[in-house]
Amino acid sequence: MDAENERLEPHEDPMPPRSDDTTDTELMTQVKNGDIGSLGFLFERNHRQLHAFFVRLTGSRPAAEDLVQEVFVRLLKYRHTFKGGTFAPWMFKLARNAAADYFGRRRPEDPLPEGPAEPVSPGPLASQTVVDHEEQARLRVALGKLAPEKRELLLLARFQLLPYDEIARLLDTSVGAVKVRVHRALKELRQVYLGAEEAPV
């Protein structure tokens, strides 16, 4: 089977986690240099984080699973473009491109699901007001109503906790511009969230 098309199942454990202190960047460098086996360790370390990102972004578990697979196919296919540095921003660059293709394939009239079936873990985005399942469900619905690019930005900044400077490099913009965009997206999310409070969940 072609290594680039081989499907890595997210719920299987094909190999035990490494016991050494090899970083993701070092593992990716090994993949780039021809050690394809290191891709499995990268998958084990990162597929859950990617899956959570895509579930929140698309509102669909099946789509999220397919997108995780697509990221790792692209990671192998474009391994020669890895320049070193921190691995996570490069991985999320591939994730953003895969998500853009996913949304590009959707017909304009196709509505997005109203949110992932799983509760969104409370975090900086949820704040102290989101303290029970009902409020988390409203937040999930509100997040799902944002434009994909705004939802993606909030997920990167608040849920995935990438530093602003890494997000700026990822989006090819300035840190100041990222902060402004995050602020505006949060403002819109609050407005949608307050509107969702008046609707049944």
pLDDT in tens, 58-70: 888 999 999 999 9
CATH number at residue 124: 1.10.10.10
Which of 68, 84, 118 terminates a domain? The answer is 118
Same domain for 134 and 42?
no
Higher pLDDT: 106 or 73? It is: 73
Same domain for 123 and 79?
no
Which residues touch 173 (CB under 8 Å, ≥6 apart)?
Answer: none
Structure tokens belonging to residue 4: 């680039």
The predicted structure's pLDDT at residue 132: 52
The predicted structure's pLDDT at residue 199: 52
Structure tokens belonging to residue 188: 């819109």
Q: Which helix (H) or strand (E) holds 8?
A: none
The predicted structure's pLDDT at residue 197: 54
Which of 49, 83, 118 terminates a domain? The answer is 118
Same domain for 113 and 125?
no
Q: Which of 96, 91, 76 is nearest to 33 (CA)?
A: 76
Could you list the residue range(s) of the whole structural domain that residue 48 is in?
Answer: 1-118
Same domain for 180 and 195?
yes
Query: What is the average pLDDT across 148-156?
Result: 89
Same domain for 113 and 47?
yes
Same domain for 149 and 165?
yes
Same domain for 189 and 141?
yes
Domain count of the fold of the chain: 2
Same domain for 105 and 136?
no
* Average pLDDT in the chain: 78
CATH number at residue 97: 1.10.1740.10
- Lowest mean pLDDT segment, chosen from 71-75, 77-81, 162-166: 162-166
Same domain for 77 and 133?
no
Same domain for 3 and 93?
yes
Helix extents (H) in the chain? 24-32, 38-58, 61-77, 87-105, 133-145, 148-154, 164-171, 175-196
pLDDT tier at 104, thresholds 50, 70, 90: confident
The predicted structure's pLDDT at residue 11: 41
Structure tokens belonging to residue 123: 């975090």
Which of 118, 137, 154 terminates a domain? The answer is 118
pLDDT tier at 10, thresholds 50, 70, 90: very low
The predicted structure's pLDDT at residue 130: 39
State pLDDT tens for residues 13-35.
444 444 468 899 999 999 999 99
Query: What is the average pLDDT across 78-91?
Result: 92
Same domain for 9 and 65?
yes
The answer to whether the CB of 41 falls within 8 A of the CB of 15 is yes
The predicted structure's pLDDT at residue 108: 44
Q: Which of 111, 94, 125, 102 is nearest to 31 (CA)?
A: 94
Same domain for 104 and 126?
no
What does the DSSP 8-state code read for residue 22?
A: -
Structure tokens belonging to residue 12: 């299987």
The predicted structure's pLDDT at residue 181: 93
